[in-house]
Amino acid sequence: MTNRVVRVASGQGFWGDWLEAPRRQVEGGPVDYLMLDYLAEVTMSILQKQKERDPKMGYARDFVGAVESVLPAVLTQGVRVIANAGGVNPVACADAILAMAAAKGAQSKLTLGVVTGDDLLPRLDELLAGGHALNNMDTGSPLASVRDRVIAANAYIGSVPIIDALARGAQIVITGRSTDTALTMAPLRHEFGWKADAWNQLAAGIIAGHIIECGAQCSGGNCLVDWRNIPDLADVGYPIVEANADGTFVITKHPGTGGRVSVASVTEQLVYEMGDPRTYITPDVVADFTSIRLTQEGPDRVRVHGITGAPATDKLKVSVAYRDGWKAVGSLVYAWPDALEKAQAADRVLRARLERIGLRFDQILTEFVGASATHGPLAGDAGKHAPEVEMRIGVRSSNRQMVERFTREIVPLVLNGPPSVTGFAGGRPKVEEIVAYWPALIDKTVVTPVVEIRQ
Amino acid sequence: MRVRLLDIAHARSGDKGDTANVGVIALKPEWYGVLERFLTQERVAEHFRGMISGKVERFALPNLGALNFLLHGALDGGGTLSLKTDAQGKVYSTALLRLVLDVPDADARGANLPGFAGDA
């Protein structure tokens, strides 16, 4: 057993995260790996829509700039980058990275590992015919019921192909729908040689991944406890895992950066998007969040220990994206006096008009931002005295024309509805196609990840 | 004694499909027992009545001084389907912290809980 510490730094928590973070992570102090997580359920749908418009798209384009900003560290300090930036098109993502490197004169020095095999779309009918029903995990419905509207189907794959890419010398590993947590666990497993049945260590790696997969959300960002006094969020430090071979690790951040790593900040991230804490299921291991122990061992240093895991299941999760109609959301702002009453009156007028012209929707929702949009009736009557209230109304329908027509009915209210109205500078709202998410399970044996090394 | 959750706990929430999860964490380790005893599944379901269409599940994490609640049918379809401002359930966290518990005086004094005098 080695006393070596391996440092994995988190540089992106989602597609859209702070562009400065990756570079700051490799320049702020020693790190061995830079982990960039770009994918959420919603992101895969967006990427799929982009790939439909242009077959060279479908990956997180921010990644190209991120790699460019850390290229010196990759080439000279040996920092290795692991990212699920490939989205629904890892090969195009790798092409873009190599093109960027070539433009910088660095292509010959760069080795990429590209992980594919998560894309089940080309095999979907064969899988369905073979008895893999891909029932919706929430509703139980068989995928056949929406098959003709499916535009993407990806299995969440685990650490093994990433480790393979690292073992074959990849300095940058690009995956598609790999699990967020595998991006952190894989380099630890690679470095420490954890076996496939080292359940406690694998679970620890997964939990380390869960803590840092949302970037600064564990190091002072979006932290409710003592939020006013969290130092210098303008200069917030993104998290770093300092891991040991036995599976214990410390969450910290670079010295001199803002934010805070505390038991409270780490705990908030641990419970984020949690289901049953005893069974956090991943392709590699089932982690038990009720085993986690946290100790503040110094300023901005939280030690995480005690973690246990159990054998993985024989399934992988599958995320299917399918077309599910159209939606549009529009808004107008009403000012004091009686802002809420005016906004409510406008909503009644608008709905009456929609009714009279015969528009029918699968769903119509009005919220009053400033009064009750986020906390509903729990917000009480504070909104009655609000200096302004935004009427925010959305509709959803399988009929695009109905939604299109709806978008034309909002702005007229500025002149022909209740008074003291503004905030319509954006004009008509945009009609958006809904790509909905269908979670399912599939037998592990039918999914084979593939690793390609490119230079 | 009336005790507002905001004064004894912090929270973070997120989404899984049409389900929101809210993790509630005791601000002091000695307050976890109060959460564990009085912040029941039923109490939380009552708090969110009319705002969610499904059931509430509760999981305990005594090791973190935390309870995890799953609020099913909380997101108007969830993800890309939802028309809500908070389509991903990000601020169900503070909505839950509005909850005011009735804690027997002896328990409240024993744990040195801060009382709440305002409106629920």
Tens of pLDDT, residue by residue over A361-410, are 999 999 999 999 999 999 999 899 999 999 999 999 999 999 999 999 99
| Residue A135, in any domain of the structure | no
Is the CB of residue A304 less than 8 Å away from at least one CB of chain B?
Answer: no
A365 touches chain B (CB under 8 A): yes
Domain region containing A344: 323-437
Co-location of A298 and A277 in the same domain: yes
On the question of pLDDT at A317 being above 60, the answer is yes
Closest C-alpha to A100, from A148, A141, A50, A65: A65
**Domain locations in chain B?**
2-77+88-101
- Please report how many Cα atoms fall inside a 13 Å half-sphere around the Cα of residue A371, on the Cβ side: 26
Q: How far is CA A51 from the centre of its chain?
A: 18
Q: B10: which strand partners? A: B25
Cα dihedral angle (A130, A446, A441, A52), rounded to 10 degrees? -90
Q: Closest partner residue to A272 among B12, B63, B94, by Cβ?
A: B12
Cα–Cα distance between B116 and B120 in angstroms, integer? Answer: 9
pLDDT at A312: 97
CA-CA distance, A266 to A271, in Å (whole number)? Answer: 9
User: Do A417 and A338 belong together in one domain?
Assistant: yes
When the pLDDT of each residue in chain A is averaged and rounded to a whole number, the result is 96
Residue A447 domain-assigned (yes or no): no
Rounded percentage of chain A residues whose pLDDT exceeds 90: 93
Note the pLDDT tens digit of each residue in A203-214: 999 999 999 999
Residues A81 and A35 in one domain: yes
| Distance, CA of A452 to CA of A115 (rounded, Å) | 7
Q: Which DSSP symbol is given to B115?
A: P
**What would the pLDDT profile of B8-66 be if each residue is shown by its tens digit?**
999 999 998 899 999 999 999 999 999 999 999 999 999 999 999 999 999 999 999 99
Q: With respect to residue A224, please indicate whether it lies within any of the assigned structural domains.
A: yes
Q: According to the model, what pLDDT value does residue A52 have?
A: 87
CA angle A316, A322, A325 (to 5 degrees): 150
Same domain, A170 and A217: yes
Task: Say what the pLDDT of residue B50 is.
Answer: 94
* Model pLDDT for residues A80-125, shown as the tens digit of each residue: 999 999 999 999 999 999 999 999 998 778 999 999 999 999 999 9
Determine which of A141, A273, A433 to mutate to test the interface with B (most B C-beta atoms within 10 Å).
A273
Cβ contacts of A434 on chain B, cutoff 8 Å: 80-81
Q: How far is B40 from chain A (nearest CA, A)?
A: 16
Domain count, chain A: 2
Domain annotation covers residue A380: yes
